[in-house]
Structure 1
Amino acid sequence: MNASQQPGVLQTPGFAHYSLAWSPFHTARLALASSANFGLVGNGRLHLVSVTPGPGGLPVLTIDKKYETQDGLYDVAWSEIHENQVVTASGDGSIKLWDIMLNDLPIRAWQEHTREVFSVDWSNLKKDMFASSSWDGLVKLWSPERPRSILTLQAHHACVYQAMFSPHQPDLLATCSTDGTLKIFDLRSPSYVNSGPNSNTFSSPLSAAVLTVPASTTEILSIDWNKYRPMVLASAGVDKLAKVWDCRMVKTGEINQVGGICETQLMGHEYAVRKVQWSPHRPDVLATASYDMTCRVWTTTPTPGRPQLLHIHDPHTEFVVGCGWSLYEEGILASCSWDGASLVAVFI
């Protein structure tokens, strides 16, 4: 049994993983966004991975296909309308759409961002739209059928690490940044409505957030919407904390101090928290991935006298920068790391 067939482990020598995503169409299909030389310089690779039952019921990860790119890949998202399409975010500012039934080349490519593209997110409500965020401070909305972006937001005046559509309201988009804030944009706002055939947001990006939460005195690296509680967000970042925010309880102008409206804080990581993701199966469970080389599972509603921390997953030997819950099977979490390993853990 070679390394790629070891239960629950996939090794990709020479490539550090930055992000992973489970397919919304297939229960056992993963996509991995990876970079050579830890993403600092060199090429990238998109891995397509299948997860199958192995000896003793342990999962076996196998690479089905891989695509080479000229620059490192930082994020990946599956299409919500086409089961064989996936979009990637690259360090050269490009965004590429791939059809996994084809070989070698992307079927579409866009080059509008002027810095590294650090996140892509496909709307699961407006399924013909995805968003990108970049170190250039911009968030862009895209349709896979159009040659240019649909809308540009000057979301922050610093690197935007992540932009995510709300799973409850199709026109809400959340962002987080190096400036320590998370913001919510309402695309139904009059300022975002296309005012005519000659209007565009390329020369004058839109910037009016409906809500700005000063969530940290340091960089916020990741956010995620709760799948069951509308307007509830989790954030995580350099302060080593994961925080839960109920944005219905926040009113502009009433925030007097950083963290003052925080619903709960999850403490325990020793270094920055690079990724946070709510469970798609339970409203009170979320996972975090950290530079302390661990992936952790938490509950926001612990049994009295019990800790919020449920599990510590620590087989990685480098920064853990990505994690993702299986969309179909409860209790299955995948993690990926700069050690070139992707792991699937089962939490019962």
Structure 2
Amino acid sequence: MNQPPPLSFHTPGFAHYAVAWSPFHTSRLAVASAANYGLVGNGRFHLASIGPPQGIALQKSYDTQDGLYDVAWSEIHENQLVTASGDGSIKMWDIMLNDLPIRAWQEHTREVYSVDWNNIKKDLFVSSSWDGTIKVWSPERPRSLTTLQAHNSCVYQALFSPHDPDILASCSTDGTLKLFDLRVPAYAPSTNSFTTPLSAAVLTVPASGTEVLSLDWNKYKPWTLASAGVDKMIKVWDCRMVQLTGRMAEGGGAGYGAAVGGACEVHLVGHEYAVRKVQWSPHRPDLLASASYDMTCRVWSTTPSPTGTHLVYIHDPHTEFVVGCGWSLYEEGVLATCSWDSRVNVFHI
């Protein structure tokens, strides 16, 4: 099938890592980028808008000392967003101002690889890092509110549940998805010993035999997650299908034991290389998009077609790794992709 050409803009010298639609403006996009493919050098985040007569246009950009790996819009202030940097810093920006961030935090000891804003408790956002930790932040506080020693290795992504503001999910190089409940007691009820607050996950899903690079919550099914990574597959998990261990199995409650498992409901196979990003549609419970090192973005349905296929659409104009994708929050079927070819594409499936 012939595809209409996408709307596109090009930022020479900067490879894109993440793209995010504004929750306030239907046509506004933020893009996190890095020079030299993020290996060394500075970063830049770009602000773009979509609309006639130019189609898509770059409005402004902000330079940083290190590469940027992710960006998340504030759920409170329409002109503010946070970025995740390779130097371990997190910065908040106001796009009505020029040049300098309005706040900065430096607690992570290695690259910050993801940031995500809580869309229920709108005064919180979360970050994850290669140092193995997840941190919960308030824009009004100079220090993080909570640190989770989530994994023993790089945490590629951490996301708040869109259904419960106290539940977090993460994925890591260790091949697992983990769920954390911020309401668990600060210590386990034992006689003489205290645990580090929130160090134990309430659910661990052995999702892959290799690195899990991305995850996302289904927007319509509260305990359904998608994961993707180096094994080239996208997997859909029902986290209600768990095996309980320890005191949790005896009725102790969250935080008193461990839960492992999670039933894999669907395997989506077709990418030729690692899947770098997966995101559920905000408009349909059965639709999700994926971005891959095979230079494509693909759209899948968890409900197979009459011919048995789950693949709905392939977007392949990019000429380098596609590492980010994002659904429009306002217009159904509209996707943005970003790539190491320094291009952002916006198209309708």
- After superposition, the C-alpha distances for 1:199-234 in whole angstroms (9 at most, x for unaligned) are xx9xx5631110000000000000000000011000
Question: Per the alignment, do residues 259 and 147 of structure 1 end up closer, same or farther by CA in structure 2, a change over 3 Å counting?
Answer: closer
1:26-65 residue pairs with structure 2 within 5 A?
26-53=25-52, 60-65=55-60
SS of residue paired to 2:243: coil
Equivalent residue for 1:233, pick from 216, 222, 225: 225
**Matching residue of 2:253:** none
Aligned residues: 326
Residue identity in the other structure for 2:219: K
1:175 correspondence with 2:175: no
Aligned to 2:18: 19
- Which runs of 5 or more structure 2 residues have no equivalent in the other structure? 189-194, 250-259
Deviation at 1:316, TM superposition (A): 0.3
Equivalent residues of 2:295, 2:319 under 8 A apart = yes
Instruction: Tell whether the 8 Å contact from 1:87 to 1:120 is kept in structure 2 after alignment.
Output: yes
Separation in 1, partners of 2:38, 2:177: 25
- Tell me, yes or no, if the aligned pair for 1:7 and 1:60 is still in contact at 8 Å: no
Aligned match of 2:192: none
1:209 aligned partner: 201
Give the Cα separation in 2 of the matches to 1:70 and 1:161: 21
Q: How does 1:123-142 map to 2 (within 5 A)?
A: 123-142=118-137
1:187-198 to structure 2, matched below 5 A, reads 187-191=182-186
Note if 1:109 corresponds to 2:111. no
Q: Is the 1:7–1:61 contact (alpha carbons within 8 Å) kept by the matching residues of 2?
A: no
Which residue number in structure 2 is paired with residue 319 of structure 1?
321
Confirm whether residue 293 of structure 1 aligns to residue 295 of structure 2. yes
Gaps of at least 5 residues in structure 1 are 1-5, 194-200
Amino acid at match of 1:182: L
C-alpha deviations, 1:93-126, integer Å up to 9, x for none?
0000000000000000000000000000000001
- The CA distance in 2 between the partners of 1:164 and 1:287, in whole Å, is 17
Tell me how far apart the structure 2 counterparts of residues 192 and 275 of structure 1 sit (CA, whole Å): 34
In 2, Cα distance between equivalents of 1:234 and 1:306:
20
Task: Return the alpha-carbon distance in structure 1 between the equivalents of residues 278 and 311 of structure 2.
Answer: 14
CA distance in 2, matches of 1:7, 1:278: 21
Deviation readout 1:13-37 (Å, 9 max, x if unpaired): 0000000100000000000000000
Give the corresponding residue for 2:215.
Answer: 223
Q: Distance in 1 between the 2:42 and 2:343 partners?
A: 18
**3-state SS of 1:38 partner:** helix
Residues 192/93 of structure 1: CA separation in 2 closer, same or farther (3 Å cut): farther
Alignment partner of 1:165 out of 153, 160, 168: 160
The AA in structure 1 aligned to 2:18 is S
Equivalent position amino acid for 1:187 in 2: L
Contact 2:6 2:347 in 1 (8 A): no
Shift of 1:192: 7.3
Percent identical pairs in the alignment equals: 75
Q: Deviations over 1:258-277 (max 9, x none)?
A: 99821100000000000000
Residue 303 of structure 1: aligned partner: 305
> Could you give the per-residue CA deviations for residues 220-254 of structure 1, whole angstroms, max 9, x where no partner exists?
00000000001100000000000000101122359
Question: What TM-score, normalized to structure 1?
Answer: 0.91
1:145 match: secondary structure: coil
Assess if the C-alpha contact under 8 Å between 1:94 and 1:117 holds in 2: yes
Separation of aligned partners in 2, 1:188 and 1:260: 21
- Could you tell me which residue of structure 2 aligns to residue 150 of structure 1? 145
Secondary structure of 2:325 counterpart: strand
Please state which structure has a larger fraction of its residues in strand: 2
